[in-house]
Amino acid sequence: MNYYSLNKQAADVSFKEATIFGQAPDKGLYFPRTIPVLDQQFIHQIQSYSKQELAFRIMLPYVGNTITEEALYEIVAETIDFDFPLVPINTNIYSLELFHGPTLAFKDVGARFMSRCLGYFSIGQSSKITVLVATSGDTGGAVANGFLGVEGVDVVILYPSGKVSPVQELQLTTCGQNITALEIAGTFDDCQAMVKQAFMDADLIKHMQLTSANSINVARWLPQQLYYFFALQQWNEKKSFPVIAVPSGNFGNICAGLVAYLSGLPITHFIAACNINDTVPNYLRTGTYQAKNAMATISNAMDVGSPSNFVRILEMFKNNHTQISQIISGYSITDLETISTISQVFNTSKYILDPHGAVAYNALEQYLSNHQNQKGIILETAHPIKFPETLESSIGQLLDIPDSAKNLFGKEKHSVLMNADFDELKNYLLSR
């Protein structure tokens, strides 16, 4: 499998090169030259495979011969070594819980897969790779945990000061070792812009081997399609295949789901469930794409006004708005609607949604009200404990703290304060 730049001004590369470089020399995102089409017998027998065997079969064509099959099987087995349960909320809506990994967020899968691939590729290399990543919440913690202690790799995480939850901040600022957190006085879009500029800076490129662990990196992005296969493995509704509502910020997750769909996975429809950062819902409605400045919400990991991965969706469907809007519906949910949804679902079903899952639930409920013969799945992308104030006030009771979060609260935060200024970031990186 080769990968090409969406800017079409760079040579094709292997999976290894795309992973290490992160972004193409012409500043485009890498995209697989072909999307493998799965054998329909394999799809029909999906429930007979183990998670490990399924993940191995899905990822093998994308990796090609850059990793041995034995090593790839070990990588995927370690990547998904936790549960992905499909839990009924009511008769029409299920929740695929993606928060049972070590940092209680769906991004554990991509971060663990990428870290293990980079670890494999760095064997025998004399120079270190620096992973530079921006986070709006969960990416930072997942990347920190996934790369912690990986030889030959340093990690620098940029996050917006005061705009991530307390648990999220502790997860990315208490690791030490090869993990450094930069606390930026600005928004996630500022952090993302600084990271993108770093990859275009000639001095940094000359002196450092930089790569990104955001979902612009194919090794972070592509493993996310596994969620959708795990969902269909557990789908026992006989009359139809599910509508899947995806909490969407940078659009890597739903983009990976569309890859699974184009590979042959039977999904009826996708819902891009956004908060008030409605760049993509507006595009789906009007056909006009207009990036905006991000606005802060209680579903903070989705506070993105210029989603990096949407260009990949445009590529998949050759910029055809009609085709895109036929497979994806977009919804924009306010904070008040989010809080109301959390309360309503808890009161009727005793299920606790995190704010991102609540956005997806509200959007899916709206869609199903006009498609009453269908049923759907929301992707629950973060554990409720990451948002205690919002949830406890919404459901009227205290949350149980999982063991993996309890040990965070006694740790001391370590971060480097920095303005939203690329020159400050550049000087810092060159001085390391």
Per residue in 200-239, pLDDT (tens digit) is: 899 998 898 888 887 889 999 999 999 999 999 999 988 8
Q: Is the pLDDT assigned to residue 125 strictly greater than 80?
A: no
Q: Residue range 64-73: average pLDDT?
A: 97
Range with lowest mean pLDDT among 35-44, 358-367, 378-387, 398-407: 398-407
d(CA 294, CA 276): 9
User: What is the structure's pLDDT at 412?
Assistant: 87
Taking each helix axis from N to C terminus, what angle separates 138-147 and 166-173, rounded to the nearest 10 degrees?
Answer: 30
- In DSSP terms, which residues pair with 186 in a beta bridge? none
**Separation between Cα atoms, residue 235 and residue 241, nearest integer Å:** 8
Average pLDDT over residues 400-417: 85
Query: For the ranges 19-33, 205-219, 326-340, 353-367, which has the lowest average pLDDT?
Result: 205-219
* pLDDT computed for residue 335 by the predictor: 97
Strands (E), 188-234: 209-212
With tokens 């081997």, the residue in question is: 209
Q: What is the pLDDT of residues 86-115, one digit of tens each?
A: 999 999 999 999 999 988 999 999 999 999
For 85-120, letters b (16+ CB in 10 Å) and e give ebeebeebbbbbbbbbbbbbbbbbbbbbbbbbbbbb
Question: Of 108, 110, 358, 378, which Cα lies nearest the Cα of 243?
Answer: 378
Residue that the structure tokens 């009161």 belong to: 347
Is the model's pLDDT at 329 over the cut of 80?
Answer: yes
- pLDDT on residue 160: 93
Mean pLDDT of 116-132: 85
Residue environment code for 214-228, b if the CB has 16+ CB neighbours within 10 A, otherwise e: bbbbbbbbbbbbbbb
Q: How confident is the model at residue 27 (pLDDT cuts 50, 70, 90)?
A: confident
pLDDT digits 0-9 by tens, 361-378: 999 999 999 998 999 999
pLDDT of residue 271: 98
18 SS3 class: helix
pLDDT at residue 179, rounded to an integer: 94
- Using 50, 70 and 90 to split pLDDT, how confident is the model at 311? very high
Verify whether residue 107 is a known catalytic residue: yes
Indicate the residue type of 178: N
The answer to which of 99-103, 327-331, 415-419 has the lowest mean pLDDT is: 99-103
pLDDT value, residue 67: 97
Confidence of residue 185 (pLDDT cuts 50, 70, 90): very high
Task: Classify 337 in phi/psi space as left (phi over 0), alpha (psi -120 to 50) or beta.
Answer: alpha
What span, in angstroms and rounded, lies between the C-alpha atoms of 208 and 171? 26
The pLDDT, as a whole number, for residue 135 is: 87
Rounded Cα distance between 26 and 11, Å, is 9
* DSSP states along 31-92: EESS-PPPPHHHHHTGGGS-HHHHHHHHHHHHHGGGS-HHHHHHHHHHHT-S---EEESSSS
Residue 152 — pLDDT band, cuts 50, 70, 90?
confident
> Alpha carbon 419 to chain centroid distance?
26
**Confidence category of residue 354, pLDDT binned at 50, 70, 90:** very high
Q: Is the pLDDT of residue 123 over 90?
A: no
Residues above pLDDT 90, as percent of the chain: 74
Q: Is the pLDDT of residue 15 over 90?
A: yes
pLDDT at 124 over 90: no
Q: What's the token pair of residue 212?
A: 């990104």
The angle at the Cα of 50, spanning 48 to 55, to the nearest 5 degrees, equals 115
pTM (whole model) above 0.85: yes
pLDDT at residue 126 greater than cutoff 80: no
Mean pLDDT, to the nearest integer, of 247-272?
96
pLDDT tens per residue across span 268-296: 999 999 999 999 999 999 999 999 988 98
Q: Which residues pair with 417 in a beta bridge?
A: 183
pLDDT bracket for residue 196 (50, 70, 90): confident
Q: Which domains does the chain have, with CATH numbers?
A: 85-105+221-401 (3.40.50.1100)
Mean pLDDT of 75-90: 97
Q: Which of 16, 27, 51, 107 is catalytic?
A: 107
- Cβ neighbours for 159, distance < 8 A, ≥ 6 positions apart: 134, 135, 136, 140, 169, 172, 181, 182, 183, 184, 188, 191
pLDDT at 409 over 80: no
CA dihedral 426, 427, 430, 432 (to 10 degrees): -120
Read off the pLDDT of each residue in 370-396 and give the average, rounded to a whole number: 93
Average pLDDT over the chain, rounded to an integer = 93
